[in-house]
Amino acid sequence: MRIQIFSGDTLWLFSQIFNVPLRLIIDSNPNVNPNSLMVGQTIRIPGYVEERYVIRPGDTLWRISQRQNIPLTRIQYKNRQINPYQLRPGQVILLPRKVIWRVVQGKQAYSYEDMMNDLNELRTIYPFIRTNTIGQSVMGKSIPEVTVGTGVKRVHANASFHANEWITTPIMMTFLNDYLIALTNNQPIRGLYVNPFYEQTFLSLVPMVNPDGVNLVQQGPPQEQPYRDLVLQINNGNTNFSNWKANIRGVDLNNQYPARWEIEKERKEQEPAPRDYPGEAPLTEPEAIAMAELTRRRDFRRALAFHTQGEVIFWGFLGLEPPESETIVNEFARVSGYRPIQYVDSYAGYKDWFIQEWRRPGFTVELGRGINPLPLTQFNEIYEESLGIFLANLYL
């Protein structure tokens, strides 16, 4: 929501009137000098939307305030260019509505386009978040990163490396949405007030690493060539892609990292396939390259990759993980009920590479239980299990 500056206004005053933390208002207006506001300037108040209201006979701002359950002062400040004593029927004013509802409706098929639409709306309501493109998929879809917070502790989480594990994306997006609601309304999540986390932690999220694959599983083969013929050939002509984990070229993105990649190359699929083909070399696929370049650039303290399924958390790689990894995974297990597993006969994954290259805590979190893609009937249960992990990633 935008509001115009009048003489005597300060960001602190708006923080008090609209009940939004001052830090969030400052970060929502990066090009505004908070100590030198200019009359006529427009600033953004996060956590609000504007609603048009048409004045009816007998209306006063006080009556509108009572009927709409919006504090009178907020209506007055949003409409200061209007004489409150000369309201006319048919006149339009703008009501500042505090957002306490989710934009993200995750308990449904959730495509790349759904995610992008939700990110655009969240960015409008919560302009203190930042989004940037870390790269493009094989088919040219932008892969977004979302960042929240200003802290020096940089942590990362990603979802949908694997196409038929796409439920991880709406799970992550729902957490992002709930975190933003809690920040702007100063409300707790599971008894934890999250505003201190904002200033302690820089949170990086990549909600959909494999957008082409996700859309393939949900929507079937694309119309664009040569990709349509390619995926049908790889899938033996079958138009059911529910078993597809790979990107659109049939490369498993979580077998693409130079962490004993040669072992996976030797024993896994030897040509493009719906799953488990590690490619002709490490980091050949644009989606895997984008994640590697992001990780190098951001210098994360720890990284989490969300997958399905099994209700387990993998946390070690060849003994290269630091001692603190065990402390962290035990907390993840406590808040989720998931079982920690230190080592597994698997290589070339993002988590493996992160641990190998930085000797920092890396985790693969396997959400839910069953056959991929997991049914949406599990959504609420999975979200409640994973919520503690998302929160712990902020406070640990």
Backbone angles phi, psi at 236, to 5 degrees: 55, 40
In single-letter form, the type of residue at position 116 comes to: M
Cα–Cα distance, 156 to 204 (Å, whole number): 5
Instruction: Quote the pLDDT of residue 245.
Output: 98
**Would residue 311 show up in a list of annotated catalytic residues for this protein?**
no
195-234: pLDDT as tens digits = 999 999 999 999 999 999 999 999 999 999 999 999 999 9
* 233-237 mean pLDDT: 98
Q: With contact defined as beta carbons under 8 Å apart, do 16 and 5 qualify?
A: no
26-62: pLDDT as tens digits = 999 999 999 999 999 999 999 999 999 999 999 999 9
- What DSSP state is assigned to residue 7? T
Tokens coding 104: 């993200």
Cα–Cα distance, 207 to 222 (Å, whole number): 21
| Reported confidence tier of residue 353, pLDDT bands at 50, 70, 90 | very high
Q: Which helix (H) or strand (E) holds 314?
A: strand 312-314
- HSE at residue 323, side-chain half, CA atoms within 13 A, is 0
* 114-138 mean pLDDT: 98
Q: List C-alpha distances in Å: 205 to 17, 260, 304, 309.
A: 31, 26, 10, 20
Alpha-helical (H) ranges within 133-244 are 168-185, 195-200, 211-219, 227-234
**What size, in residues, is the chain?**
396
Catalytic residue from among 264, 285, 287, 366:
366
If you average pLDDT over every residue of the chain, what do you get?
A: 98
Domains within the chain, CATH numbers bracketed:
2-98 (3.10.350.10), 112-213+282-395 (3.40.630.10)
Residue 372's contacts (CB-CB under 8 Å, 6 or more residues apart) are 162, 164, 165, 242, 243, 245, 308, 309
160-190: pLDDT as tens digits = 999 999 999 999 999 999 999 999 999 999 9
Rounded to 10°, the helix 379-395/168-185 angle is 60
Q: With contact defined as beta carbons under 8 Å apart, do 164 and 242 qualify?
A: yes
Q: With contact defined as beta carbons under 8 Å apart, do 288 and 349 qualify?
A: no
Instruction: Quote the pLDDT of residue 60.
Output: 97
Catalytic residue from among 347, 350, 383, 385:
347
- HSE at residue 110, side-chain half, CA atoms within 13 A, is 31
Tokens coding 4: 């115009």
Q: With contact defined as beta carbons under 8 Å apart, do 364 and 349 qualify?
A: yes
* 279-296 mean pLDDT: 98
